[in-house]
Amino acid sequence: MKLTLKIWRQANANAKGSMQTYPIDGIEGDMSFLEMMDVLNEQLINKGEEPVVFDHDCREGICGSCSLQINGEPHGPDRGVTTCQLHMRMFNDGDEIVIEPFRAKAFPVIKDLMVDRSAFDRIQQAGGYVSVNTSGNTIDANSTPIEKENADAAFEAATCIGCGACVAACKNASAMLFTSAKVSQYALLPQGQVEASTRVLNMVEQMDKEGFGNCTNTGACEVECPKGISLENIARMNREYMAAVSKG
């Protein structure tokens, strides 16, 4: 395959960025999108130019590092995959592909396609945990049966990889899907209920403080989420939040 890549290049957080064009040839359908980027970078290095910087690590869709906006969509045109699992067979010979970083005020660009998603960490630090010590001196794991349905739903919410595609997809750059997934995981489990009120209040407060926008229920986040995190989580978080507020 012969392709034309239009890539956002930005030297550092303070520099002004711009789109650059790179023709590329010899791309095979079995390559992942990032392996295609590897080919480009190898060519750039051999020419003495700086390779394109992008976040990536596990390359199996679970670490949540990769974060490219491809042809206007987070993680590109395929559904239910991260960029590292997107394969070039999704594209055709002669295509032009536009590659940008995830765009959001709360995700400033570090370099080229790499953004700073530490806002997500701070939301988790505000309350995304159960306050038990790790001494192991707790009750036996099977002493609290949990309905399978709830356990499974908690698991589904907990599969969020924290990549930020939901924010990049949202016209308001809202982090509601991300935050609600964590809130839901704990809200659905007895272990999480003790601190449910303070958790949701603190996490939402931090989310707002980071500069993420509000949710207007367009549902773009759910469509683009590589792990299929459901909008129901946002509804659940809103209920949790209202309950916590009314409790005072």
Partner 1 sequence: MSILDAKIPEGPLADKWTKYKNEINLVNPANKRNIDVIVVGTGLAGGAAAASLAELGYNVKTFCYQDSPRRAHSIAAQGGINASKNYQGDGDSDYRLFYDTVKGGDYRSREANVYRLAEVSGNIIDQCVAQGVPFAREYGGLLDNRSFGGVLVSRTFYAKGQTGQQLLLGAYSAMNRQINRGKIQSFNRHEMLDIVKVDGKARGIIARNLVTGEIERHGAHAVVLATGGYGNVFYLSTNAMGSNVTAAWKAHRRGAFFANPCYTQIHPTCIPVSGDHQSKLTLMSESLRNDGRIWVPKKIEDAVAIREGKKKPTDLSEDERDYYLERRYPAFGNLVPRDVASRAAKERCDAGFGVNKTGEAVYLDFASAIDRYGKMEANIHKIDNPSAQKIYDLGRDVIENKYGNLFQMYEKIVDENPYKTPMMIYPAVHYTMGGLWVDYNLQTNIEGCYAAGEANFSDHGANRLGASALMQGLADGYFVLPYTIGDYLSNDIRTGKIPTDTPEFDQVEKDVNDRIHKLMNASGKHSVDHFHKKLGKIMWNKCGMSRNAKDLESAITEIAALRKEFWADVKIPGSADSMNPELEKAGRVADFLELGELFAKDALNRSESAGGHYREESVELDGPQKGEALRDDVNFKYVAAWEYKGEPKDAVLHKEDLKFENIELKTRSYK
**192 contacts partner 1 (rule: CB under 8 A):** yes
Convert the chain into a string of H (helix), E (strand) and C (coil): CCEEEEEEECCCCCCCCEEEEEEECCCCCCCEHHHHHHHHHHHHHHCCCCCCCCCCCCCCCCCCCCCEEECCEECCCCCCCCHHHCEHHHCCCCCEEEEEECCCCCCCEEECCEECCHHHHHHHHCCCCCCCCCCCCCCCCCCCCCCHHHHHHHHHHHCCCCCCHHHHHCCCCECHHHHHHHHHHHHCCHHHHCCHHHHHHHHHHHHHHCCCECCCCCCHHHHHCCCCCCCHHHHHHHHHHHHHHHHC
**20 contacts partner 1 (rule: CB under 8 A):** no
Instruction: Tell me which of 133, 171, 246, 248 binds partner 1, using CB under 8 A.
Output: 133
Looking at 2-10, 61-69, 213-221, 230-238, which segment touches partner 1 (CB under 8 A)? 61-69
Instruction: Tell me which of 191, 197, 218, 238 binds partner 1, using CB under 8 A.
Output: 191
Instruction: Tell me which of 1, 24, 98, 110 binds partner 1, using CB under 8 A.
Output: 110
Binding mask 69-108 for partner 1 (x = CB under 8 A): ---------x-xx---x-x-x-------------------
Q: Which is nearer to partner 1, 160 or 215 (CB)?
A: 160
Residues 31-50 that bind partner 1 (CB under 8 A): 31-32, 34-35, 38-39, 42, 44-46, 48-50
